[in-house]
Structure 1
Amino acid sequence: MKKLNLIILLTMILLISCSKGGDANKEELIIYCSHPLDLMNTILDDFKLKNPEIKVDVVTAGTGELLKRIEAERENPLGDALWGGTLNSVKSKSDLFENYVSTNEANIYDEFQNAEGNFTRFSAIPSVIMVNTNLIGNIKVEGYADLLNPALKGKIAAADPASSSSAFEHLVNMLYAMGNGNPENGWNYVQKLCANLDGKLLSGSSAVYKGVADGEYAVGLTYEEGGISYVVLGSPVKVIYMKEGVISKPDGVYIIKGAKNLENAKKFIDYCVSLDAQNILINKVNRRAIRTDADSSEVVIPMTEIYSITDNPDIVESNRQKWLDKFRDIFTSI
């Protein structure tokens, strides 16, 4: 009996060692990700299925926090790719990312091409207002101006633009929309909106759309997918495209300069703009794809039905920190 028990014990040790050895022999990929968990997990499950030889580890946080981390690790990068964050959010940190043009670039719409060399677009993201239909009552919400209604004071979910890329995009959107194309003329609106936030500023995008869907807030400033996903689930919410104008910006996936697992990071970039991944965006997570041959959506309305406006990327990039500082000063002084 003792001999049998010893054999069983040795067999278990051998199995555990083989298991650990097999995992250790896998290639690695470390992704810094600011996407919602549903999108992240849905895409990664398919990537892992197609690349079983790669062990994927993910660090999740807001775009601003992840960019600070990448900058702090510049001399010894611990991550291989940043997945998430709009182009406006990362352009000023261009030196943190490797040049790489995906093998799928030819299938991407012209306006989303990686002209810079280190910014691969992943999806298109319009800014929207999300409304809880159980809480809004008779209050009209068709755009930014309606958020100044005194009845909404303290009931508006908004994230800090310094830590959330979607919040920064909303700041840019409202500056251009409420400034009639001149962002400097939009600050009067921002000051009034900050007063109606009543001292409440959330840490990230997910806190905004969850807060509205859960009934903590009547309205929220978020991005399209965050709101539409709850509409699809049957939550008491609706998505409003601001009547003053909607800016739609691409987010992206970027290889961190000095990445230790460079080839696997390139594989991930190629996968993110593959037809399979782009169709998953449309069919499973309700986000707009950037490939010309991707499926059409039954849930997301065409951009032709939305009043769209544009920003000036050069002006946004050169004023990014100045605008963040000005927003903080306005918010903290009220």
Structure 2
Amino acid sequence: MKRIIITILYVLGLFYSIMGCSTQEQDTGNSLVIYCPHPLEFINPLVEDFKVQNPGVNVDIIAAGVGELLKRVESEKDNPLGDILWGGSLNTVKPKVDLFENYTSTNEENISAEYKNVEGAITRFTTIPSVLMVNTNLAGNIKIEGYADLLNPALKGKIACADPSASSSSFEHLVNMLFAMGNGNPERGWDYVQRLCANLDGKLLSGSSAVYKGVADGEYTVGLTFEEGGANYVVAGSPVKLVYMKEGVVFKPDGIYIIKNAKNMENAKKFVDYATSYEAQKTINERLNRRSVRNDLPPSDILLSVDKINVINDNEALVEANKQNWLNKFKDIYTGI
């Protein structure tokens, strides 16, 4: 009798062990974990469409700032809990490119030449200019046409700016102002940064969303943000407008990156292919207030035409080589005021 009980328990244990493994494999195979700094208004329509096209795939979104998400990817590199980092400018992610898997999307031939994946692990997804977002009710007669206008004493303590070490859009603004106010030489732009930090009056926000929400909600008169973050409020009818800095605007692509050794690798590749597909990029272009990187879509009807913007370029290699030094210098200036 004892032998029969042991045998039954062994068989039951084996059965549950097999079932457990099967369930675990099924969960893993039909899951996708995305680390993402984008606003939910941008994320949700695309994720829902992806799920319609890939029924059965369970998508989990972990939302946070790019700086925090990159730290998470790095800390989990021996056991990745995420599959994709969806968002983050190239200037922010490139120094950590070894954390990501080489993959070329099935849509690469339709990506514009300047946005090709030449590194292997960096798929360009959208292209985004830095902008100023102005609350028109609060600004009144205060002229805000570019960076120089942010030094107006009337704006002291009324400027929303995120910590560039935590927010990729804020770091892009730091790069933009260094090149714009330094007339192409970023070292000459630091005097402006010092004066701007003084006018922030000790207010530095924790992430990108705090900037555009703060301006839209009337906490701040003007914010340093990215185009889509402000454009959503313009389209919704909020009392805000976008200003493309007269001193010059840098456009930088936003990326989508597969985390190295991701547990759901095939689903991660499917999502990269989806995000760069004609239909997804058409949605981005026409409904979600971002600029496509594909060469077979017309310009957005919503966003200001590029030919009406003073577009300038940074030096990508110089930015990459100096990123940490510039972040340290900004911190020293801000804390020293």
Q: TM-score, normalised by structure 2?
A: 0.91
Verify the 8 A CA contact 2:28 2:264 in the aligned structure 1.
no
* Structure 1 residue 43: Cα displacement: 1.1
* Structure 1 residue 24: Cα displacement: 4.4
Per-residue deviation, residues 270-327 of structure 1 (Å, max 9, x unmatched): 0010011101111221100011112432211221110000001000001000000100
Per-residue deviation, residues 125-182 of structure 1 (Å, max 9, x unmatched): 0000010000001110000000000000000000000000000000000000000000
Verify the 8 A CA contact 2:125 2:275 in the aligned structure 1.
yes
Verify the 8 A CA contact 2:160 2:222 in the aligned structure 1.
yes
Matching residue of 1:4:
none
The 3-state SS of whatever aligns with 1:94 is helix
* Structure 1 residue 53: Cα displacement: 2.3
Residues 191-230 of structure 1 aligned to structure 2 (within 5 Å): 191-230=194-233
Which of the residues 160, 164, 188 maps onto 1:157? 160
The 3-state SS of whatever aligns with 1:135 is helix
Distance across 2 between alignment mates of 1:69 and 1:331: 26
Matching residue of 1:7:
none
Residues 72-221 of structure 1 aligned to structure 2 (within 5 Å): 72-221=75-224
Distance across 2 between alignment mates of 1:117 and 1:238: 37
Rate the CA distance shift 1:208–1:190 in 2: closer, same or farther, 3 A.
same
- Please identify, of 25-34 and 101-110, the stretch whose mean Cα deviation from structure 2 is larger: 25-34
The 3-state SS of whatever aligns with 2:254 is strand
Distance across 2 between alignment mates of 1:94 and 1:258: 13
Query: What one-letter code is carried by the residue in structure 2 that aligns with 1:62?
Result: G
Distance across 2 between alignment mates of 1:42 and 1:210: 20
Query: What one-letter code is carried by the residue in structure 2 that aligns with 1:286?
Result: N
Which of the residues 274, 277, 281 maps onto 2:277? 274
Verify the 8 A CA contact 1:26 1:55 in the aligned structure 2.
no
Does 1:311 find its partner at 2:318? no
Query: What one-letter code is carried by the residue in structure 1 that aligns with 2:50?
Result: F
Matching residue of 2:19:
none
Query: What one-letter code is carried by the residue in structure 2 that aligns with 1:135?
Result: L
The 3-state SS of whatever aligns with 1:229 is helix
Verify the 8 A CA contact 2:128 2:251 in the aligned structure 1.
yes
Distance across 1 between alignment mates of 2:27 and 2:75: 27
**How high is the sequence identity, in percent, across the aligned residues?**
66
Per-residue deviation, residues 24-46 of structure 1 (Å, max 9, x unmatched): 48611111111111101111111
Query: What one-letter code is carried by the residue in structure 2 that aligns with 1:102?
Result: S
The 3-state SS of whatever aligns with 1:134 is helix
The 3-state SS of whatever aligns with 1:29 is strand
Aligned residue pairs: how many? Answer: 314
Query: 4+ residue stretches of structure 1 with deviation over 6 A?
Result: none
Verify the 8 A CA contact 1:26 1:53 in the aligned structure 2.
no
Q: TM-score, normalised by structure 1?
A: 0.92
